[in-house]
Amino acid sequence: MAQHSVHVREAAKYLSKLRLSWSDPDWPTNFLVVHKEDPTLVGLIREVVQYLLEDTPAGQTTIVWLPETLTEIHGDRIMHGCPETVDLVVTVGGDGTVLGAAWLFQEVVPPIVSFHSGTVGFLNTYSLVQHPQVLQQIVTEGCRVNIRMRLSCEVRREKGPVTYHVLNELVVDRGTSPMTTLDVFVDGTRMTTVQADGLIVATPTGSTAYSMAAGGSVIHPGVPAILITPICPHTLSFRPLLLPDSVELVIRVNEGSRGNAWASFDGRARMELNRGDEIAVSSSNFPVPTVCREDQTRDWFNGLARCLHWNDRPSANHLGVEPL
Three-state SS across the chain? CHHHHHHHHHHHHHHHCCEECCCCCCCCCEEEEEECCCHHHHHHHHHHHHHHHHCCCCHHHCEEEECCCCCCCCCCCEEECCCCCCCEEEEECCHHHHHHHHHCCCCCCCCEEEEECCCCCCCCCEEHHHHHHHHHHHHHHCEEEEEECCEEEEEECCCCCEEEEECCEEEEECCCCCCEEEEEEECCEEEEEEEECEEEEECCHHHHCHHHHCCCCCCCCCCCEEEEEEECCCCCCCCCEEEECCCCEEEEECCCCCCCEEEEECCEEEEEECCCCEEEEEECCCCEEEECCCCHHHHHHHHHHHHHCCCCCCCCCCCCCCCC
95 is catalytic: yes
Which is the catalytic residue, given 24, 76, 95, 295? 95
Annotated catalytic residues are 95
